Every structure is written in C-alpha cells, then in structure tokens.
Structure 1
Amino acid sequence: MKILYFDCFAGIAGDMTVAALLDLGVPFEVVRDAVGCLRLPHSSYSLATERTSRKGITATRFVVHVEEHQPNRHYGDIAAMIEESPLADGIKEKAQRIFFRLAEAEAKVHGVELGRVHFHEVGAVDSIADIVGAAAAIDWLGIESIHGGALPLGSGFVETAHGRLPVPAPATAELLRGIPVHGEAGPGERVTPTGAAILAALAAGFGPIPPMTVTGVGCGAGTRDFADIPNILRVFQGEIDRGFERDDVVVIETHIDDTSPEILGYVMERCLAAGALDAAFSPLQMKKNRPAVRLTVVVHPEQRDELAALILRETSAIGVRFHPAGRLKLRRLVEERDTTLGRVRVKVINGDGVARVAPEYDDCCRIAAERGMPLMEVYRIVERECGQ
C-alpha cells in the first residue's frame, strides 16, 4: 500500500503541499495541466517552480503569479468549475472534498448557508491552483492512504479580506477540529486554511509516522522564513507491504453502575446501528463496592461526538472518556460459496501469510434450524468445504 506522511513540523499551506509533492518527483506538467483544465483565463495567472533554501535546507517552491484583481467566487462556482472540467475522476473527487471542507468551515464561521459562502483569499486563483494541483499530484503518485503529524498552532495575527484576525484564523481553527495540534512553534501563521483543509479532507489519521518502507522524501518551502525553524513541509512517501490494512479509530468508554441491563442491551444495539465498529460490556467493581459495567465503543474518528452523545442520552452516564487508537487489520472479504448445505456466506480473511475462512453466523444458524442439525456440525461442514 502506497502512503504519504505529512511531517508538518513547521506547519502546512497549499503552496507548500504542492511544492513538497513536486520535490517528491511529481512532474511539473501534471500540476500545470490539471490547473489548465479549469475555466480560468490563462492570461490571469502563470505557474512556476523554483529551488530555494530555508536555513540551509534545499527545498522546492511552487509559485502562482496572479493578476492583482481577481473576482470573489462562491463555493458553488468553484465546485461547478471542477465538476465540469475534463479532470480525471480521482482528481475531481479529492479537489471537491477539500473545497467542501473549506466551505463548511467558512459557512460556520460567518454564519451563512453553504451555497452563499464567498471565497476571498481561498477562492483566488492561487488557492484554486494549490488545491487542484495537490489533488492531481496525489492522484499521479497513486497514493492509497494519507497520514499526518500534529500541527503547530502559531500565534499573533494575520491580515485577511475580513480584517485583522487572530492566528489560527477562524476558518483554520474550525478545520482543525479532530486534528492534534501543539503550541511549540513560534509566532506567525503556521497553518493556512488551504493547508488545514487538505489534511482535514484527505488524511486517514494523525499521529507518529506509521511503520513503512520510505521510498521518497519531498520538501516544500513556504513563502515566509521563520526565525525558529525552517519553514518547510516534509512529505514522506512509503510502502506498507505486509498485507495488513491500517486505520485510525476512537475508543469511547464509560463506567455505569445504575442502569438496567435491558437498557444497556438496547444501548449496544443503538450504537451498532449508528455505525459503531464494535461495542462491548465488561464487568467492574466500582466505588462503594457496587457491581458495574464498562461500556466500550469503537468508532471512526468523525463519529466520536455523535456516538458519545447517544451514550449520554440513553444511559445514566454523565461523562465519557475517549482516546485515539490505531488498528492493524487482516483483509476481510465476504463471499457466497456453494456447499452441500446450500449457499453460505463466508468471511475470507488473509494477509501477512494468514489465510482462513470464517462462516457467517446468521447463515449457519438458518441452515441448522432448517435441517435440524447441531450448529457446530454446520460450522464444521462449511469450514471443511470452503476452507482455503
């Protein structure tokens, strides 16, 4: 599996992202031609790349030269421009996801409907080029998963079309929901709205760099030259080739000592129906010597608040704890197989030398009831006839 890891020790911006991907080996023509597919007057902008240095480290810069006056654009204008272009579907999908996240953040910050969001700096030609260029470069690399490190918040103020705003700018702060951040970097805008949107839309998870074989490193330089650290975005390209699948989840837990077991069973059903990946109860002995249960629910990161709210509504818990976790999974595919007992669904599980078949419980129960057979015997027959 091909992955990209964004090492954002100095922050991230749209132009830094494109520059790092070009430095990684993406041909400049890939970015230039993708931006050229859009309905932008070619006389209104030009693209260039150059080599530069930040505190002695050589890096690539991606430069968009734009005419001084550019029209403000609504989110719908940009979405239509991308959708109606001859860009490849993979590029369109990535660019649309990034702009949608930007529009969501701007709509919330300014209290307007999504369709009425005006893009000022973000909607200008340079940022459109950054987003479409990044989507095209990632698509050209054939990347299957993107991960990122914690982002530096920065400090101070930034001048925008809305006036002087605190760092991180309000739209950037909104985009940082669910992304780990730190305050170790010095003053200045370290994360731009475009850079935050790229990771918010495309990253599968955040944290330390995952185990992988590094196949390339790209360094993209930002416009500014900070005093504390080199203003560079470093991107690692790598391969994970053990047959495992990886993703990031959130584990939600709470201890309950005063809710009926019938209610708890209902809560588990609600959690699973709402999209939880797993849910379980485990026995506890709590304070005042009360027997209790621990409810543990595993969810995708974007489901965290929804499932936490469900637990607080449906149980007597007055709080939940959650922590991010990584998962290492064998590949699993559900197939229908012919057996002497009829058609049966089985889970085909493989990866890293593992290869096995697991019968689907519901199908085996149905067959056992229909044929008057012990369930264990049905399992044995299906495993024997469908085993690899």
Structure 2
Amino acid sequence: MATHLHFDCFSGISGDMTLGALVDAGLPFTDLVRGLASLRIEGYRLSRKRVERGAITATKVDVRIERGFQAPLTLAQIARILRRSGLPPVVKERSQAVFDVLATAEGKAHGVEPSQVHFHEVGVIDSFVDVVGGVLGLHLLDVQRVTASAINVGSGTLMSAHGALPVPGPAVAALAVGLPIYAKGPERELATPTGIALVRTLATDFGCLPSMQVRRVGYGAGTADPAQWANVLRVFIGDEPASSAAVETIVELQTNIDDLNPQVYETVFERLFAAGAVDATLAPVTMKKGRPGTVLSVLAPRERVEAVLAVLFSDTTALGVRTHEVQRRVLPRRFTSVQVRGREVRIKVADHEPGRSKAAPEYEDCKRIAEQSGNPVKDILEEAMVAFRRTQGRKKRTT
C-alpha cells in the first residue's frame, strides 16, 4: 500500500516545523543529517530537542548557522549547487521546484523577475536545510502521496527590514494564491514562505484529513511559544485505503438563479475558486411559473464555506443558498511536467488501480503556450499527452 502523509497546518507551517514533525514521526535524525551532508554546504549545524508547546510535546529542529555564503545566491546558483550534490535525483528535482516557487513569490513581492531574486547569504543556508531536508525526509520515509489541511497563516503584523507589514506578508500572500488559508489564534505570523512553498509544491490535495490507516503521528514545534496556543505542525503518516479512491466529506452549496446576466458567471467562477471552492457547475432548470433558470452548484471544504457563501451573496443575485455535507470518492492525484515547444506543461495524473492511471494536461499551461506560439490549443494539448506517454515509456524500460 502507498504511504500517505497529511500535513495538519492548524498553527501554520514553516521549514523547521516540517523537519521537526518528520523527525517526531519516525524519520531517523542521523539519516537526515547524513543526507543533508551530500549538499556539500558548510557553515551550519543541525540539532534537535523535545519541547512543550501548549499542551503538546513536540520535536524542535534548529539550524545553527555558524557562517553564511560570501554573497547572496541567485536561483541559477542554487540550481548549480543542487545539481552537483550527491542527493537522489528525485530529491534534487523536487527541491529545485520548491526554490522555483519561492523565487517566483519573492519576485512578485518585490517586483522583479524570479531569476533576479537574491537569497540572503545566511538565510539561504537555512532555506537549503529546510527545503532539501523536508523533501529528503519525505523521500527517506518513502512517502508517495502528500495532502494538507487548510493553512492557518496567522494575523496582526510582522516586523521586517522595511518596517511593519500585515500578516500574511507579501511573499506568503503570493504563495497562498489558490490555496485554502484562514486566520485564527495569536496575532502573529504562523506560516513562513518556506513552509508554504514546501506544502504548495509537494501536496496534491488540500482539505480535511482524508481516509487513511494512520501508523504514526508527529509534532514539529515552531520557534514561538505563544500563551495558551500549541504552536506545532502535526503530520499523519499512514497507508492509503485498499480502494484507490479516497472518501472525503465536503460541503455542497446550491442556489437557483433566474435574473443574473450570464456574462457575469465567468467572474463568479474565478472568485469562487479563489475563495477555496474545489468545483462549480451550472445546470439549466425550469423554475416556478415556467421561468427558465440556472442552478449554481459549488463544492467546498468545510473551512471554506463562509468564504464561498460571501462570494455567492455578493457576486450573484442569490437571496438564499442550500448547504449540505456530502461524501465523494476521489482518486489520488499527483503532478508531473513535460516540455512542449520549450515550455513546461503540468500533467495531472490519477492512479485508479495498480499499473493504471489517467492523465490530462493542465489547460491553462497549454492555452498560454498556444497564445505565445500562435498554434491551436488542441494541438498543444495533444503534444503534451504525446510527451507524457513518451516519458512513461522510458520509465517502464528502466524499471
């Protein structure tokens, strides 16, 4: 059975919390230290200890920086260090993906291209250990699937070199686009850019704890210890259910509409998904007095219902919305990528039984390439699937 890890981010997520939670859940600390040594980076020391956070005993992993790099590093320099390391290929690839996501977010926050983002000479060592350590830890634990809860990002303000900033900060806000987030608990930053980048890159689904047979639970402590608050990241590690389709509980929201300009629905859908909806559909119906109408149906995790309701009431003419919990069976999904005309296209893959899967290119990626190249989007979609099948064929020949 496939090993499944679920991040429970009720107090946010950071790089050191991730390392602590993995070690607490059974990742051998010596294996983590030995694996990170293959990065061939000096100037730091890794330590661990047991601490109390609220009523929870957790593992705190600290990166003790002794000296940093002589100058800030660019994304290209980070990629070179990863390539030259002795890390397993899959760890190199996923670690680079996390740094790419981080650089994109930092670039948006500071108004520069990702390639122009410079990682601070001391902070980059911390980032290397957190990012590569998190990815390596999942690899050492043989985790095949990663999911996560909605992320508590905290609230209030944080201090930066440029003065006070609202929580979440600009980089976390950029990384959180499209993810389910909320604010609860002490007024402070609970989610860091590194933590969000890790979970954004590695998790294939966000929502409530999915069906799994739990084998281990781990708690990773954050540095802060607010009063009356357990500042920890919890991870559940277990086995996928015998059926490949996981059962999850989700909320269905429905409303009947007969007086909304159909042109508005495009914007309504965009805002529903931004609010955390996982699906939205329109169906034509005949309403009272023979009037034609539309049923707008939305699926959303429990923790995003209020945000979705706010969109339905503000952006449509709905005066009432029906809500009820339903169960749905969902195939585990993962993402891989292929190159089409020199550009990256993400492929969503769903495994429905051993050795068999379904795959589909991300439409927005193909649409962007079609617009840039002047080719029909249907051709780009076909080329992406051909490229994906080619990579699958190579994998079968090497196994």
Q: Which residue of 1 is the match for residue 204 of structure 2? A: 204
TM-score (norm 1): 0.66
Q: Structure 2: which 5+ runs fail to align?
A: 260-277, 300-314, 333-350, 357-399
Aligned counterparts of 1:278 and 1:154: Cα–Cα separation in 2: 26
CA displacement at 1:329 relative to structure 2? 4.9
1:132 to 2:132 alignment: yes
SS at match of 1:4: strand
CA distance in 1, matches of 2:207, 2:258: 34
Q: How does 1:243-322 map to 2 (within 5 A)?
A: 243-246=243-246, 282-286=283-287, 289-291=290-292
Contact 1:15/1:63 (8 A) holds in 2: yes
Residue 4 of structure 1 is matched in structure 2 by: 5
SS of 1:244 mapped into structure 2 = coil
- Cα deviation for residue 209 of structure 1 reads 0.5
Q: Deviations over 1:90-141 (max 9, x none)?
A: 2112211211111111111111111101223895211210110010000111
- Indicate yes or no: 2:20 matched with 1:19: yes
Match of 2:172 in 1: 172
Q: For residue 141 of structure 2, what is the aligned residue in structure 1? A: 141
Sort the Cα spacing of 1:318 and 1:55 in 2 relative to 1 into closer, same or farther, 3 A: closer
The one-letter amino acid of 1:83's match is R
- Superposed displacement of residue 34, structure 1: 2.7
Alignment-mate amino acid for residue 93 of structure 1 = E
Query: Hey, what does 2:49 align to over in structure 1?
Result: 50
Q: Deviations over 1:284-338 (max 9, x none)?
A: 125874435668899xxxxxxxxxxxxxxxxxx99999x999852579xxxxxxx
- 118-127 or 142-151, larger mean C-alpha shift: 118-127
What is the alpha-carbon distance in structure 2 between the residues aligned to residue 174 and residue 325 of structure 1?
31
Which residue of structure 2 aligns with residue 267 of structure 1?
none
> Hey, what does 2:37 align to over in structure 1?
36
Shift of 1:31: 2.0
Alpha carbons of structure 1 residues 295 and 180: separation in structure 2 relative to 1, 3 Å: closer
For 1:4, the aligned partner's letter is L
Separation in structure 2 between the aligned mates of residue 207 and residue 279 of structure 1, nearest angstrom: 16
* Contact 1:283–1:292 (Cα < 8 Å) also in 2: yes
Structure 2: which amino acid aligns with 1:23?
D
Against the structure 1 CA distance between its residues 286 and 102, is the aligned structure 2 distance closer, same or farther, given a 3 Å change threshold?
A: farther
| SS of 2:292 mapped into structure 1 | strand
Q: Which residue identity is paired with 1:52?
A: V
Q: 1:254 to 1:224 in 2, by over 3 A?
A: same
- Give the total of aligned pairs: 298
Specify the SS of the correspondent of 1:227: coil
For 2:245, what is the secondary structure of its paired residue?
strand
- Structure 1 residues 121 and 69: CA distance shift in structure 2, 3 A: closer
Q: Which runs of 5+ in 1 are unaligned?
A: 259-276, 299-316, 332-348, 356-388
Alpha-carbon distance between aligned partners in 1 of 2:117 and 2:110, rounded to the nearest angstrom: 8
CA change 1:66–1:288 in 2 (3 A) is: farther
Which amino acid is 1:58 matched to? Answer: T
Deviation of 1:241 (Å): 2.7
Aligned position for 1:62: 61
* Residue identity in the other structure for 2:12: G
1:179 CA drift (Å): 1.9
Judge which range, 203-212 or 279-288, deviates more.
279-288
Identity over aligned pairs, percent? 40
Root-mean-square deviation over aligned CA pairs: 3.9
CA distance in 2, matches of 1:80, 1:238: 35
Q: Whole-Å Cα distance in 1 between the matches of residues 182 and 280 of structure 2?
A: 31
Counterparts of 1:319 and 1:105, CA distance in 2: 35
Find the aligned partners of 1:279 and 1:182 in 2 and give their Cα distance.
Answer: 21
Structure-1 residue corresponding to 2:345: none
Find the counterpart in structure 2 of residue 359 from structure 1: none
TM-score (norm 2): 0.64
What is the rounded CA distance, in whole Å, between the counterparts of 1:121 and 1:286 in structure 2?
64
